[in-house]
Structure 1
């Protein structure tokens, strides 16, 4: 009886604690919703204000929903972020806003890719036509940060700070040795010598093909970087190359000597200058508005127009199913394209792609919806930082493709990886397998033994078929021969400028250029932009993906800078089906 009461008591205590925790979570959710309602209130921009452009935040394709982001729940969001398009529209509006007197650009390490940085940089260059000044200040400038800051009328560096200017590098990680020690064999089926996604698992260094293409696109990225800085700072491009190549900029005084900055100042000195520019007395408080708040104040332009242009955001890895705001689910994106196609008020579609690819099958599903849409209304593609492999596949049927000079694209090729764990299971762990089957290929794709010659032939035939479909889709969309597409395909990665030269893209231009081209092709004088797919609420994301977000959160904390290695290994093991993805996660430092 004593044991009985002990268990009853434990159960009651458990129920009470559980109820309390549920109640606590409910209170947090209510507080989060109420705080988000308060956050949505418009910010009053006072006269003589300074637009505070803090770009040390995550710059995404779309501004995320803010609900619950400040809750102390792992997986509920957190950290500032803003959509690049909202940011650019805010800068454009500030250009003609009489209350905004100047811009204070504060950036050390922006959270954006190269093409996105160029979009923002071009918007700042356009802002300067207003004759309003941009003042940049930072304690530390990374190369990406300096690329943005170089447009400023004045660039200031902390007297004890640092300016990084060393050139670009791209380093790959190879797992062959580790896999051999573990007793794991990566069985590779691919088409294309340049399709080097598989190389980290079978080589211990870059192949000649891969080295050639990485050298080419890294050089293209660097050219865009140097040309932009050269034009803004009036420093010859060759001189900038020498500064980086010889590591001239080591101390703050070096940056001043070589005219990379205009002065070495502390923040209080910069604030005094901002007060002067904005017409604020020294003894008064500087009136500022953050770019996040200023962007949140924006209203939809031409909101009364019945004509619409649909922008469909395809962002992240391509997978089957629904996906989310950070991945391209074939069902969700196809449904969004179909909805835009069937809406008579939508006169044109802009497909905004920022993806290194993924599932070849899912890519084809999305491609089909673009083909159907193109038959009834204009479809324009706008490529962001990366639109490669499957990311290129889904857009190749568009009427026109816009890229930035430093967009990474192409990578027309497919591959499959079938791991063989036999040695690991048998010799390392002492695990063996046995069974029966009703057909010779009933256990094809089994990971506890090597592929047979017959199985390898079947899979290679399937990969070849997918590749043939891929180059056929591209040839039809780009109005080229299959032979020509094959010659520039084979998994070859191209930079935006080269993509235009070889016909994989049509024009160098921004996202807004693509939208304007869609309006022109649809013969619209006025229109308003609507965005698809509908963003997933933070609460739904928390409920649907909370567990996964928690795992990712702690994995990032544990692995730190090596988190990308964990992701690469995981992708190699779990990705099912034939893949059309960029050869690797490109990291340029």
Structure 2
């Protein structure tokens, strides 16, 4: 009886806590809504008022990630997330192109006398984005202005940017965490067998490993060989760049695990001293000591009680008006799905409409398609590709600028361009197709549930509660094979290759941009600046301005976005704290698994997507 009473009391207590949580959440959301309305009215009146920039450092205090196209590209985004607290800072998204533009303006601003990189809250970016930011940092440093990196510790991504600094400071109890790259996926074959789920796979491509988690308990030898090639290339590119910045050789920068252990032992286990001995940093210093040195360089600000500086989020210099005809910039940023765009995904209808607008606008003379996508739905990719073909047909040049990845469906939409530019570290190719249909007849049978009925044809009797008819499976495989033939044919036609030549570098094989250039899949190695120059050259423009096709969300969209960020920042920790330790660890691992199968909506169940392209750690 006592145990029963405790159980009932526990349920009542948790229910009461939940009711209180919902009540407080609704009240807080309403308060945030009112605050943001007030802020919006204020900014409307202040929008044209130039901000006086103090003479001192540009403080690059990046928070969260850097992406091509943030989900919310609006000044309210930063204010909203600050209002929701620092717990969501690490989920903040920053525009790569806004960041680089800001760094370049600071280079020419006489009030900005140097730069301070404060990267403790910087989560990361793909390697081509880091290279593009690094290019802007190098330009700033080459102008004669110093860059100082300060940090309690540096992870690999943070250290990549810090390596461009004139001087790197590290806390005496800090570390520089260089360890290399790795990919890891969860494999579900044994689990699916235990719950008696039947996974029907249809695919083409020796290296098309996206479906392996459903049909294997480990990585196939073919996938291991392919992934080892490109991940090794990514790591070498990282070492070459950072070592050159620090005036070291790649072997000095990362001598290998055994030598690192020996060096750490020689430093008495002191990771900070090891970093200093290895010339990874220039000085070990506490925050007060670093602050005093920065004050000597940039002066003291009595108002802020700190060295003279302006945060990169507050730095808004006036820009001269751009003149000339327009070059449209359209983003394909994320998995490609059918329908309208949703947060984190590319909607084929939305992107196609943006391309159509660029095609019909007489002021737009060229189009840059910025692709940073692992692919997705075949039908959605084709909708976007057909619009690019239509743009070329009326004489407007199309240039593709590849970001961190333009693989599978990402390459499908890139293929028809007049010119393709990729970073040496871009992951591209992965030309292959697969289909996945799960059925649950055995699962239902194990609990005593069965499905039966009549049909006029085996092709009409398709349901997830029954095994797939053999006739449908045959048709599905033929459809996948036909899709693969279309894929390599459209690539062959666009790249002036034969289907046989494309097939040799296809089969789902992932290539680094440098290898893709050798294989004829891209035209040039470079960055977004090179894409702009090429688009202007092909359109024969001497003066131009960029027209960015980005969503301008409503206030309601912004509130919902901030609400979602806040929930994701709070709820996982609350829920995971209730789980036993082993389940807690498993939940975290599952949360990190790529969401390949969350939004699959191709009407013919055909997908061209690279699962491992975005999972490098």
**Normalising by structure 2, what TM-score?**
0.85
Q: Write out per-residue CA displacement over residues 176-203 of structure 1, whole angstroms, 9 at most, x where no aligned residue.
A: 1111111112211000011100101111
Deviation at 1:379, TM superposition (A): 0.7
Deviation at 1:497, TM superposition (A): 0.9
**Corresponding residue for residue 443 of structure 2:** 424
Contact 1:166 1:245 in 2 (8 A): no
Cα separation, partners in 2 of 1:534 and 1:498, compared to 1, 3 Å: same
Deviation at 1:45, TM superposition (A): 4.5
Counterpart among 430, 446, 460 of residue 442 in structure 1 = 460
Instruction: State yes or no: 1:587 paired with 2:615.
Output: yes
**Corresponding residue for residue 14 of structure 2:** none
**Corresponding residue for residue 96 of structure 2:** 84
**Corresponding residue for residue 143 of structure 1:** 156
Cα separation, partners in 2 of 1:219 and 1:575, compared to 1, 3 Å: farther
Contact 2:55 2:113 in 1 (8 A): yes
Contact 2:336 2:373 in 1 (8 A): yes
Contact 2:178 2:254 in 1 (8 A): no
Counterpart among 303, 307, 316 of residue 286 in structure 1 = 307
Distance 1:353 1:553 in 2: 32
Distance 1:551 1:282 in 2: 38
Distance 1:548 1:137 in 2: 28
> Secondary structure, in 3 states, of the residue corresponding to 2:280?
coil
Cα root mean square deviation, aligned = 3.1
Q: Write out per-residue CA displacement over residues 51-70 of structure 1, whole angstroms, 9 at most, x where no aligned residue.
A: 11123322121352243734
**Corresponding residue for residue 341 of structure 2:** 323
Distance 2:411 2:533 in 1: 21
What are the equivalent positions in structure 2 for 1:403-482 lying under 5 Å apart?
403-427=422-446, 429-444=447-462, 446-482=463-499
Distance 1:476 1:227 in 2: 36
Cα separation, partners in 2 of 1:584 and 1:52, compared to 1, 3 Å: same
Counterpart among 313, 327, 331 of residue 313 in structure 1 = 331
Distance 1:545 1:475 in 2: 44
Instruction: State yes or no: 1:342 paired with 2:360.
Output: yes
Contact 2:126 2:404 in 1 (8 A): yes
> Secondary structure, in 3 states, of the residue corresponding to 1:162?
coil
**Corresponding residue for residue 65 of structure 1:** 74
Distance 1:416 1:338 in 2: 30
Deviation at 1:275, TM superposition (A): 2.2
Deviation at 1:279, TM superposition (A): 4.6
> Secondary structure, in 3 states, of the residue corresponding to 1:352?
strand
**Corresponding residue for residue 12 of structure 1:** none
Higher deviation after alignment, 209-218 or 554-563: 554-563
Distance 1:136 1:72 in 2: 27
Distance 1:573 1:336 in 2: 21
> Secondary structure, in 3 states, of the residue corresponding to 2:175?
strand
Q: Write out per-residue CA displacement over residues 87-122 of structure 1, whole angstroms, 9 at most, x where no aligned residue.
A: 001111111111001110111443311221111112
Q: Write out per-residue CA displacement over residues 487-541 of structure 1, whole angstroms, 9 at most, x where no aligned residue.
A: 1111111111111111111111111221121112211111111111433335236
Distance 1:534 1:200 in 2: 35
Q: Write out per-residue CA displacement over residues 210-246 of structure 1, whole angstroms, 9 at most, x where no aligned residue.
A: 0111001101101110001111111112222415563
Deviation at 1:175, TM superposition (A): 1.0
Counterpart among 205, 218, 233 of residue 192 in structure 1 = 205
Distance 1:569 1:549 in 2: 25
**Corresponding residue for residue 581 of structure 2:** none
What are the equivalent positions in structure 2 for 1:503-522 lying under 5 Å apart?
503-522=520-539
**Normalising by structure 1, what TM-score?**
0.89
Distance 2:42 2:369 in 1: 33
Contact 2:328 2:366 in 1 (8 A): yes
Cα separation, partners in 2 of 1:432 and 1:572, compared to 1, 3 Å: farther
Cα separation, partners in 2 of 1:53 and 1:550, compared to 1, 3 Å: closer
**Corresponding residue for residue 15 of structure 1:** none
Counterpart among 110, 117, 130 of residue 105 in structure 1 = 117
Distance 1:443 1:247 in 2: 62
Cα separation, partners in 2 of 1:411 and 1:46, compared to 1, 3 Å: same
Cα separation, partners in 2 of 1:568 and 1:20, compared to 1, 3 Å: closer
Distance 2:158 2:560 in 1: 36
Deviation at 1:587, TM superposition (A): 2.0
**Corresponding residue for residue 11 of structure 1:** none
Cα separation, partners in 2 of 1:553 and 1:563, compared to 1, 3 Å: farther
Deviation at 1:147, TM superposition (A): 1.2
Contact 1:302 1:528 in 2 (8 A): no
Contact 1:193 1:491 in 2 (8 A): yes
- For structure 2, the 5+ residue unaligned runs are 1-21, 265-270, 576-586
Cα separation, partners in 2 of 1:430 and 1:28, compared to 1, 3 Å: same
Cα separation, partners in 2 of 1:220 and 1:483, compared to 1, 3 Å: same
What are the equivalent positions in structure 2 for 1:18-97 lying under 5 Å apart?
28-38=32-42, 41=47, 44-63=51-70, 64-67=73-76, 69-70=80-81, 80-97=92-109
